[in-house]
């Protein structure tokens, strides 16, 4: 897999919020999540969850503020982060849903991003994971720059009807302040696996998916 620059130096209209990247359309919908939920969540109370049995999963993106804000983080590390999250979620989604490449009846579209950006910044770097990806050996130690990026990053995502674009759910998830620091790539990959399992299990429950 390679990471290509999807939207370098994206101009943004200043916003009063300095917490979020601008990846989601409307952060005002979000509310604190309950036990086992993402940090902040929105769910359409009238969403017809049980009508969905297919998922169109878009490539994971990485967002960070500033013209050269990603320069300090090795490109290979950004590649591993995006690929690792995408691989974990895609694998887990396949246990409960049919993963498709085109919109159709009964299809949800899922977008995810790893973000450490603020929409209020005048410039954003947005990188898009294309395809494939490699995993690192269990003992491979994270660089200091990558640990710093991970510590400040969060996962943002939304789920929409793939045909009508109706927003079904959205969320922002952050690591707990007291969570142990990641030291190796094995730590990151295990965390992605746990996050994917928890998130997809909630989605399967709402959609009535059967393994």
Predicted confidence (pLDDT) per residue in 18-36, tens digit: 468 889 999 999 999 998 8
Instruction: Give me the pLDDT at residue 65, please.
Output: 73
Output the pTM of the full model. Answer: 0.85
CB hemisphere CA count around 46 (13 angstroms): 1
- Domain limits at 178? 3-207
DSSP state of 177: T
Distance CA 23, CA 82 (A): 15
Q: pLDDT-based confidence at 74, cuts 50/70/90?
A: confident
Residue of 19, 25, 15, 55 whose CA lies nearest to 158 = 25
Q: Is the pLDDT of residue 8 over 80?
A: no
Pairing of strands 107-116, 61-65: parallel
Q: What percent of the chain has pLDDT over 90?
A: 60
Under DSSP, the state recorded for 103 is: -
Structurally, how many domains does the chain consist of? 1
Q: What is the mean pLDDT of residues 9-20?
A: 45
d(CA 192, CA 85): 6
What whole-number distance in Å separates Cα of residue 62 and Cα of residue 143?
Answer: 18
């Amino acid at each position: 897999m390679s990471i290509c620059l999807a939207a370098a130096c994206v101009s943004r209209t200043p916003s009063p919020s300095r917490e979020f990247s601008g990846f989601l359309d409307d952060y005002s919908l979000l509310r604190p999540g309950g036990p086992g939920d993402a940090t902040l969540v929105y769910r359409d109370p009238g969403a017809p969850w049980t009508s969905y049995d297919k998922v169109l999963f878009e490539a994971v993106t990485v967002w960070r503020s500033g013209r050269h804000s990603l320069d300090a983080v090795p490109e290979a590390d950004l590649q591993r982060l995006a690929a690792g999250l995408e691989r974990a979620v895609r694998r887990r989604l396949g246990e409960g849903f049919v993963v498709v490449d085109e919109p159709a009846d009964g299809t949800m579209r899922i977008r995810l991003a790893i973000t450490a950006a603020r929409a209020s910044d005048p410039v954003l770097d947005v990188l898009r994971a294309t395809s494939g990806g490699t995993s690192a050996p269990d003992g491979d130690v994270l660089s200091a720059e990558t640990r710093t990026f991970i510590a400040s990053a969060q996962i943002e995502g939304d789920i929409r009807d793939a045909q009508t674009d109706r927003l079904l759910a959205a969320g922002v998830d952050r690591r707990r302040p007291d969570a142990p620091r990641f030291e190796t790539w094995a730590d990151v990959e295990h965390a992605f696996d746990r996050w994917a399992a928890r998130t997809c299990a909630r989605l399967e429950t709402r959609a009535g998916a059967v393994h």
